[in-house]
Structure 1
Protein backbone atom coordinates (compact mmCIF):
# COMPACT_ATOMS: atom_id res chain seq x y z
CA UNK A 1 0.00 0.00 0.00
CA UNK A 2 1.44 3.32 -1.00
CA UNK A 3 0.82 6.65 0.64
CA UNK A 4 -2.20 8.38 -0.69
CA UNK A 5 -2.08 11.93 -1.90
CA UNK A 6 -4.40 13.12 0.87
CA UNK A 7 -2.06 11.75 3.56
CA UNK A 8 0.95 13.47 1.98
CA UNK A 9 -0.96 16.75 1.74
CA UNK A 10 -2.09 16.45 5.36
CA UNK A 11 1.51 16.00 6.51
CA UNK A 12 2.65 18.93 4.37
CA UNK A 13 -0.08 21.22 5.72
CA UNK A 14 0.70 20.08 9.27
CA UNK A 15 4.40 20.87 8.84
CA UNK A 16 3.63 24.29 7.38
CA UNK A 17 1.25 25.09 10.24
CA UNK A 18 3.83 23.92 12.78
CA UNK A 19 6.44 26.18 11.16
CA UNK A 20 4.07 29.18 11.15
CA UNK A 21 3.08 28.69 14.80
CA UNK A 22 6.74 28.42 15.81
CA UNK A 23 7.57 31.57 13.84
CA UNK A 24 4.70 33.49 15.47
CA UNK A 25 5.92 32.48 18.93
CA UNK A 26 9.56 33.42 18.22
CA UNK A 27 8.82 36.99 17.04
CA UNK A 28 7.51 38.27 20.43
CA UNK A 29 10.48 36.69 22.22
CA UNK A 30 12.86 38.58 19.94
CA UNK A 31 11.01 41.83 20.68
CA UNK A 32 11.16 41.21 24.44
CA UNK A 33 14.88 40.39 24.29
CA UNK A 34 15.48 43.56 22.25
CA UNK A 35 13.59 45.70 24.81
CA UNK A 36 15.56 44.17 27.68
CA UNK A 37 18.85 44.78 25.86
CA UNK A 38 17.84 48.38 25.06
CA UNK A 39 16.85 48.88 28.70
CA UNK A 40 20.29 47.71 29.87
CA UNK A 41 22.03 50.01 27.39
CA UNK A 42 19.73 52.87 28.47
CA UNK A 43 20.57 52.25 32.12
CA UNK A 44 24.28 52.40 31.31
CA UNK A 45 23.80 55.64 29.35
CA UNK A 46 21.87 57.17 32.26
CA UNK A 47 24.50 56.00 34.75
CA UNK A 48 27.28 57.63 32.74
CA UNK A 49 25.15 60.76 32.33
CA UNK A 50 24.56 60.92 36.09
CA UNK A 51 28.29 60.63 36.75
CA UNK A 52 29.12 63.42 34.30
CA UNK A 53 26.04 65.46 35.23
CA UNK A 54 27.03 65.28 38.92
CA UNK A 55 29.65 67.91 38.22
CA UNK A 56 26.92 70.25 36.90
CA UNK A 57 24.30 69.25 39.50
CA UNK A 58 22.15 67.48 36.89
CA UNK A 59 20.80 63.96 37.43
CA UNK A 60 18.07 61.65 36.14
CA UNK A 61 16.50 58.90 38.20
CA UNK A 62 17.29 55.45 36.82
CA UNK A 63 14.26 53.17 36.73
CA UNK A 64 12.98 50.69 34.13
CA UNK A 65 10.90 53.34 32.29
CA UNK A 66 13.71 55.88 31.96
CA UNK A 67 16.17 53.12 31.02
CA UNK A 68 13.86 51.90 28.23
CA UNK A 69 13.30 55.46 26.97
CA UNK A 70 17.03 56.13 26.91
CA UNK A 71 17.80 52.73 25.40
CA UNK A 72 15.12 52.88 22.74
CA UNK A 73 15.64 56.50 21.71
CA UNK A 74 19.34 56.85 22.49
CA UNK A 75 20.78 60.35 22.97
CA UNK A 76 17.50 62.09 21.97
CA UNK A 77 15.80 60.01 24.67
CA UNK A 78 18.27 61.23 27.29
CA UNK A 79 17.69 64.83 26.14
CA UNK A 80 13.93 64.20 26.35
CA UNK A 81 14.33 62.89 29.89
CA UNK A 82 16.41 65.94 30.89
CA UNK A 83 13.77 68.31 29.50
CA UNK A 84 10.98 66.33 31.15
CA UNK A 85 12.90 66.31 34.46
CA UNK A 86 13.09 70.10 34.51
CA UNK A 87 9.46 70.57 33.40
CA UNK A 88 8.17 68.50 36.30
Structure 2
Protein backbone atom coordinates (compact mmCIF):
# COMPACT_ATOMS: atom_id res chain seq x y z
CA UNK A 1 0.00 0.00 0.00
CA UNK A 2 1.29 3.44 -0.89
CA UNK A 3 2.29 5.63 2.07
CA UNK A 4 0.10 8.49 0.86
CA UNK A 5 -2.97 6.27 0.75
CA UNK A 6 -2.20 4.85 4.20
CA UNK A 7 -1.77 8.32 5.72
CA UNK A 8 -4.98 9.51 4.05
CA UNK A 9 -6.98 6.55 5.36
CA UNK A 10 -5.63 6.91 8.91
CA UNK A 11 -6.18 10.68 8.82
CA UNK A 12 -9.75 10.17 7.58
CA UNK A 13 -10.47 7.67 10.35
CA UNK A 14 -9.08 10.03 12.98
CA UNK A 15 -11.10 12.92 11.56
CA UNK A 16 -14.22 10.77 11.53
CA UNK A 17 -13.64 9.80 15.17
CA UNK A 18 -13.15 13.44 16.12
CA UNK A 19 -16.27 14.67 14.30
CA UNK A 20 -18.71 11.87 15.05
CA UNK A 21 -17.22 10.68 18.31
CA UNK A 22 -17.13 7.11 19.44
CA UNK A 23 -20.12 6.21 21.58
CA UNK A 24 -18.55 2.96 22.71
CA UNK A 25 -15.76 3.25 25.28
CA UNK A 26 -13.46 0.56 23.83
CA UNK A 27 -13.49 2.25 20.44
CA UNK A 28 -12.75 5.59 22.08
CA UNK A 29 -9.90 3.99 24.06
CA UNK A 30 -8.49 2.44 20.89
CA UNK A 31 -8.76 5.76 19.06
CA UNK A 32 -6.91 7.59 21.83
CA UNK A 33 -4.19 4.93 21.73
CA UNK A 34 -3.78 5.32 17.98
CA UNK A 35 -3.56 9.10 18.33
CA UNK A 36 -0.90 8.74 21.04
CA UNK A 37 1.13 6.41 18.82
CA UNK A 38 0.92 8.91 15.95
CA UNK A 39 2.03 11.71 18.29
CA UNK A 40 4.92 9.48 19.39
CA UNK A 41 5.96 9.05 15.77
CA UNK A 42 5.92 12.83 15.34
CA UNK A 43 8.08 13.21 18.48
CA UNK A 44 10.56 10.71 17.05
CA UNK A 45 10.58 12.49 13.71
CA UNK A 46 11.54 15.76 15.41
CA UNK A 47 14.13 13.95 17.54
CA UNK A 48 15.71 12.48 14.41
CA UNK A 49 15.61 15.82 12.64
CA UNK A 50 17.13 17.80 15.49
CA UNK A 51 19.40 15.02 16.75
CA UNK A 52 20.97 14.40 13.37
CA UNK A 53 23.74 16.87 14.14
CA UNK A 54 24.54 15.08 17.43
CA UNK A 55 24.47 11.63 15.84
CA UNK A 56 21.23 10.54 17.50
CA UNK A 57 18.92 8.39 15.43
CA UNK A 58 15.96 6.38 16.73
CA UNK A 59 14.10 4.28 14.15
CA UNK A 60 10.42 5.08 13.80
CA UNK A 61 8.45 1.86 14.11
CA UNK A 62 5.42 0.70 16.07
CA UNK A 63 7.32 -0.18 19.25
CA UNK A 64 9.31 3.04 19.50
CA UNK A 65 6.28 5.15 18.55
CA UNK A 66 4.23 3.43 21.24
CA UNK A 67 6.89 4.07 23.89
CA UNK A 68 7.25 7.70 22.83
CA UNK A 69 3.51 8.25 22.60
CA UNK A 70 2.55 6.59 25.87
CA UNK A 71 5.44 7.94 27.96
CA UNK A 72 5.75 11.32 26.27
CA UNK A 73 8.95 13.37 26.42
CA UNK A 74 10.60 11.11 29.05
CA UNK A 75 10.01 8.14 26.75
CA UNK A 76 11.63 9.97 23.84
CA UNK A 77 14.58 10.88 26.08
CA UNK A 78 14.91 7.25 27.20
CA UNK A 79 14.86 6.02 23.60
CA UNK A 80 17.48 8.61 22.65
CA UNK A 81 19.67 7.56 25.60
CA UNK A 82 19.31 3.89 24.71
CA UNK A 83 20.14 4.63 21.09
CA UNK A 84 23.12 6.81 21.97
CA UNK A 85 24.76 4.74 24.71
CA UNK A 86 23.70 1.15 24.23
CA UNK A 87 23.27 0.65 20.51
Gaps of 5+ in 2: 1-22
Name which one, 1 or 2, has greater alpha-carbon Rg. Answer: 1
Identify which of 46, 64, 85 aligns with 2:44. Answer: 46
Q: 1:28 aligns with which of 3, 7, 26?
A: 26
For residues 70-81 of structure 1, what are the structure 2 equivalents within 5 Å? 70-81=68-79
Counterpart CA distance in 2 for 1:48 and 1:82 is 12
- SS of alignment partner, residue 59 of structure 2: coil
- Distance, in Å, in 2 between the alignment partners of 1:57 and 1:49 is 11
Q: CA-atom RMSD, angstroms? A: 1.5
| Partner of residue 83, structure 1 | 81
- Runs of 4+ deviating beyond 6 Å: none
The count of residues paired between Structure 1 and Structure 2 equals 64
Per the normalisation by structure 1, the TM-score is 0.66
